[in-house]
Amino acid sequence: MNQSIEQSQTPLQYVVRCGSMRTLGVMDAKQTYRYGDDVVVRSTRGTEIGTVLCEATPAAIDHMEEPTEGRILRLMSADDRVQTDHLESLIEKDRIKCQRCIDYLKLKMELVDVERILGGEKIVVYFLADQRVDFRQLVRDLAKQFQTRIEMRQIGVRDEAKLLADYGDCGQPICCARFLSKMPPVSMKMAKLQKATLDPAKISGRCGRLKCCLRYEFDTYESMAKDLPAPGSLVLTRDGNATVLAQDILAGQLVVRTEDKRRILVQADEIVSVIRHGEDPEKTARRKKSHAKKDREAKK
C-alpha cells in the first residue's frame, strides 16, 4: 500500500522539444502525456509551445547535452493554436521591422529569423555576424517598437539551415530540423574513409558545410578499417608478397600490387600474414609537411 502511494507521488517528467531552435528540455508534469502531444510549457524563456518526445528516463537524459528545465502546463488547446497561427502570421512583418532598424544603425550583421514566444514575454532575434556586434541601441529600438523584451541570439550557418531549410538532397527533412539537438563535428577524413565523392557541392548540406550524415556511420567504418591491413602494408598472400594499395571496407577486400607489378583484388581472409604494417596516409602527409617546414626554417 505504501509502495503504491510513493509511486503515485513520484513526479512525472518528459523530454519536450521547444521553439524554433528545437531545444530539448526536461519538463515536470502533473499528468501523463504521449509521444507527439503538442503542449504548452513554462520554460526558461517563458510560455511557449512544445512537443512531447518521450518520458525523461535516466537513459534519455544521459543522451541529452545541457537540457533546459521547466514544466508542462497543459495540452495545446484550440485557442492556443489560433494564437500560435496569429503570431506566425506576424513574423514577416517583424523581420521587415528588424531589418529596417539594422539598416538604419548600419550594423554589420545578417538577420536570419525572428521568433515570438507564445506568452509574449520576449521576441528572439536570430542573426549571423563575422565579428562582435554592439547591438545595445538596436535592442532599445526594437523594445520600443514591439513593447516587450528583446533577446539577440548570434548563430552559425548550421543553425541558420536549422531555422530556414526544409529538405536535404536525400529527399528527407533535414536532420538538424528533425532530430539533431547538437551539431556533430564532421571532417573531410570521414568522407575519405567512406569513399564518398570529394566534390564539395555533393557532400555539403543546406548550410554549406559537410553533411552531418557523414558522421553517422564513421565509427563503424573506422572500426572495420582497423581489421584490415592499412594501405602501404606489406602482406603475404597465396600468390606471394604484395603491397596494399587501398581498402574496400564494406566488402572486406583489398587492392594489392604483387611483386610482378599486377594489381589484383583479394579478400581480407586470403591474407596469410602481415609482414610490415603500413602507416596512415594522413599521418605520413603530416610528417612530411612537418619535416618540410623544419627544413625551410633551418635554411632561414
Considering only 3-7, 81-85, 149-153, 249-253, which range has the smallest mean pLDDT? 3-7
pLDDT of residue 161: 81
Q: What is the mean pLDDT of residues 57-76?
A: 90
Q: What is the mean pLDDT of residues 260-284?
A: 81
Residue 285 and residue 297 in contact, taking contact as beta carbons nearer than 8 Å: no
Q: What is the mean pLDDT of residues 268-272?
A: 87
Q: What is the mean pLDDT of residues 154-165?
A: 84
The one-character DSSP state at 173 is B
**Burial level of 202, CB count in 10 A (0-12/13-18/19+)?**
exposed
Task: Give the model confidence (pLDDT) of 14-50 as tens digits.
Answer: 999 998 888 899 999 999 999 999 999 999 899 999 9
* H/E segment holding residue 254: strand 253-258
CA distance 220 to 218: 5
* pLDDT at 120 exceeding the cut of 80: yes
CA distance 238 to 115: 67
CA distance 206 to 160: 9
Contacts of 161 (CB under 8 A, 6+ apart): 174, 176, 177, 205, 206, 207
pLDDT of residue 4: 44
Report if pTM > 0.75: no
